[in-house]
Chain A
Amino acid sequence: MAKISYLQAIHQALDYEMGQDESVFVLGEDVGKKGGVFKVTAGLQEKYGALRCLDTPLAESNIVGTSIGAAMMGKRPVAEIQFADYILPATNQILSEAAKIRYRSNNDWNCPIVIRAPFGGGIHGALYHSQSVETIFASTPGLKVVVPSTPADAKGLLISAIRDNDPVLFFEHKKAYRLLKEEVPEGDHTVPIGKADIKREGDDITVITYGLCVNYALQAAERLSKDGYEAEILDLRTIYPLDKESIIKAASKTGKVLLVTEDNLEGSIISEVAAIIAENCLYDLDAPIMRLAGPDVPSMPYAPPMEDFFMINPDKIEAKMKELAEH
């Protein structure tokens, strides 16, 4: 197995699926000749042609809406929205259309599309290149929302997303693209959608998070281990629908739960996770549920000190973990 980056893993997944299934095609602004602003789709147009790696006009609703139409006719489009912040003009097509096509036609039609969008901060992207927009979609039945935290998961979850017969939103953390590297299985590697994953075993506290924060939590857990506390880390991987069973199990195991997200605190994914734990694990808890998240201000300011103030990092997670462990 080769050691590759999160970005290379996503590229590999696209290349592999386009190679083995002719109905798969990618489309989006700059994805063709340029290969994407982050180069995720580099070389795919040369290999598969201009129609299967399509440079679209700059119009997000069109990118998603035409993907829906092509998908209904048997294609498997993978649409790229250049930054998650710019997905909003396509939101009507995603929430009102893609999410409801199977339900509203009583299973006559379905909509197997994947929408990829880089999200997240810590890259000096300021207010419109740093947001976590996943909660906009993570309460709409009919959609699946996936956020991989490692290169191997990124490849496996993307292949699963492309093969899924329902619409999947696939959010990739921009800072993870080149930061994270690991060995990733070659060829046909899949990771099931809808299943959370224990990324680290521990008996003292449970940390539940997703995306880049998983890596930060793992770094923090290694440091905390020197103080004698072992943290269990549950990576949600699919944030909608949530894997309730794994959440309940992980929370009950240690009785002390820290929930982490880079999103704004209020109304975030971890709010729902907290509700699941409160409903199911009350008598197993040894401490109040703790949350660590971005402040409730627009994410995120440009000046480095303000951006650092907003961003989650291993230090912040370690401090919270310690507070919880010592509760």
Chain B
Amino acid sequence: MLDYKEEGLEPEDLKEMYRTMHLARKLDERMWLLNRAGKLPFVISCQGQEATQVGAGYALDRDVDIISPYYRDLALVTHFGMTAEETMLSAFAKKGDVSSGGKQMPSHFSKKSCNIMTQGSSVTTQLLHAVGASFKFKMDDEKRVALTTLGEGSSNQGDFHEGLNFVGVHDLPFICIIENNDYAISVPRELQYGAEKLSDRALGYGMHGEHIDGNDPIAVYKAVKEARQRAVNGEGGTLIEAMSTRLTAHSSDDDDSYREKEERETMKESDCLIKFRSYILEHGVADEAWFEALEKEAKAVITDATKAAEKAPYPDPEEALTHVYEEVQHG
């Protein structure tokens, strides 16, 4: 891992980053438990990608920057202000779900007040929305950036190429992070693309490209911070390929039998949470007692959030008819 001091980070920053990564991991784990207990129909995970997400989020300005995330970005949206209770309300499809009011599956994040754009299930469409937002920032000469995230499978979609090309033409304040976790559902990266590094494609779009260790939150922070600086300086967009580890199957609806046994056994070694914890301890940023307290704190927050969500009412059936257009029609 990079030296945090060299990147201008303070011990408190590392603790804050770890806190969010940990909360997201624990929320995710709880949702799997609830799924296996038959209480939640569907879960899709951030597990293993928290370092990329929180490293990136930490380098942005939450007050002005816009994120257009994808379905694995629980840690990123948690950093941007999605609360544990909101995550649980969405998981249970209850009335207070800020992302969609119970209309979408979980992990289709949205919260306008926290600068989180809404997204659907078709992959890569969200990239163009972030590009459009960054075009707006350029038009209005605003010092803001739009960041989008996606998996490496999404880099095959037409919208990926169309959007990055447009960013290159206009040097837009835009950052794309490919959270490369080696699998698009069950298809490994060797069958997804022939390039050695997806970040090399940046050259073809006329922008800066970087290939980084996505399990190192400090490396991600550094890359995104520099990308943001270039963006607000009018120097254009950045394509970052963050090599990450997906610790779960694609979703709760499938298993990870498509991975070799050996791979499954060694995955834990690259678990960003374990690695970051060791780093924090080694550098004397926090001690075991701090981690224990954090564990307790997260458990309480998640238990409260789960209880509140379980207790919350479902949306009324007639809410299915609401908000198709500005004025309610068809009912």
Contacts and interface: CB of A to CB of B under 8 A. Distances in A.
Answer yes or no: do A and B interact.
Answer: yes
Interface of A: 25, 51-52, 56-57, 59, 61-62, 64-75, 77, 89, 92-93, 96-97, 100-110, 141-142, 144, 164-166, 241
Interface string B139-166: 1000000100000000000110011011
Interface of B: 66, 68, 97-104, 108, 110-112, 117-118, 120, 122, 125, 127-139, 146, 158-159, 162-163, 165-166, 169, 322-326, 329-330
A102 B326 contact: yes
Contact of A106 (B103, B130, B132, B159): B103
Contacts of A105: 99-100, 110, 112, 118
A27 to B, nearest CB: 9
Contacts of A144: 325
The 6 A-B pairs at the shortest CB distance, nearest first, are namely: A69-B132, A65-B128, A106-B101, A69-B129, A66-B132, A62-B162
Nearest to A194: B329
A97 B128 CA distance: 11
Given A65-B159, A66-B163, A102 B132 contact: no
Given A51-B139, A96-B122, A97-B129, 18 more contacts: A52-B139, A62-B159, A62-B162, A62-B165, A65-B162, A66-B129, A66-B132, A66-B163, A69-B68, A69-B130, A72-B133, A73-B133, A89-B158, A97-B120, A106-B322, A108-B110, A108-B111, A141-B324
Contacts of B322: 106-107
Given A25-B139, A57-B166, A104-B103, A92 B132 contact: no
A241 B166 contact: no
Contacts of A73: 66, 132-133, 136-137
B325 A142 contact: yes
B103 A70 contact: no
Given A51-B139, A72-B117, A92-B122, A103 B323 contact: yes
B325 A62 contact: no
Contacts of B120: 96-97, 100, 104
A241 B139 CA distance: 34
Contacts of B146: 69
Contact of A166 (B134, B135, B163, B325): B325
Given A100-B120, A105-B100, A108-B118, A69 B128 contact: yes
B160 to A, nearest CB: 10
A97 B159 CA distance: 13
Contacts, number: 144
Contacts of B325: 102, 142, 144, 166
Nearest to A49: B139
Contact of A66 (B100, B128, B158, B324): B128
A75 B129 CA distance: 12
Contacts of B102: 106
Which residue, of A64, A75, A103, A166, has the highest number of chain B Cβ atoms within 10 A? A103
Nearest to A101: B118
6 contacts: A64-B128, A69-B132, A93-B159, A102-B324, A106-B101, A142-B324
A64 B100 CA distance: 23
B151 to A, nearest CB: 17
A62 B128 contact: yes
A56 B118 CA distance: 25
B98 A108 contact: yes
Given A51-B138, A57-B165, A66-B131, A166 B326 contact: yes
